[in-house]
Amino acid sequence: MTIQLGIATFVGAAMFPFIIRMIWGRFVEKFGEIGGFLSALFIVGVMWAINHGYGLIHQTGAWVDMGLAAGVGLLVASLVTGGEFDKHTTRNIAAAIIGGIIAGLVLNFAL
């Protein structure tokens, strides 16, 4: 991977949690529960189209989902803005890892 592709991949991965952090809460405040659904539809859909459809993220050997970028980016943003890394956070990270492993196994067996 060239340095240009590496920078483009990093920018594409960083844009996703940034946009989630900036827009998702506002949608929920304005539209309630349907705002969360609309956020999931529009934010994730548009970012997927930009990152994978347009080709901003360059994937080589490993297959990593945009969910990892969102999880790491939002965790770092929370810690930077005064959040705590406590038992609740650790439990959520463990659940996400276990869910990712199970999803990977299901995909592996299904495909």
CA distances to 65, 95, 107 from 102, in Å:
14, 11, 9
Q: What is the pTM of this model?
A: 0.76
For 34-44, the pLDDT digits (tens) are 999 999 999 99
Question: Tokens 């539209």 sit at which residue?
Answer: 31
The predicted model gives 93-104 an average pLDDT of 88
Res 61: pLDDT = 65
For 10-56, the pLDDT digits (tens) are 898 899 999 999 999 999 999 999 999 999 999 999 998 998 888 88
Lowest mean pLDDT across 40-44, 62-66, 95-99: 62-66
User: Is 82 a member of any domain?
Assistant: no
CA distance 41 to 2: 32
User: Is 70 a member of any domain?
Assistant: no
Residue 62 — pLDDT band, cuts 50, 70, 90?
low
User: Is 10 a member of any domain?
Assistant: yes
Number of domains in the chain: 1
User: Is 67 a member of any domain?
Assistant: no
The domain in which residue 37 lies consists of: 3-61
| 57 pLDDT higher than 90 | no
User: Is 103 a member of any domain?
Assistant: no
Res 63: pLDDT = 66
SS3 content of the chain, % helix, strand, coil (to 5): 80, 0, 20
Q: What is the DSSP string of 49-81?
A: IIIIIS--S---SS---HHHHHHHHHHHHHHHT
Calculate the CA 102 to chain-centre distance: 18
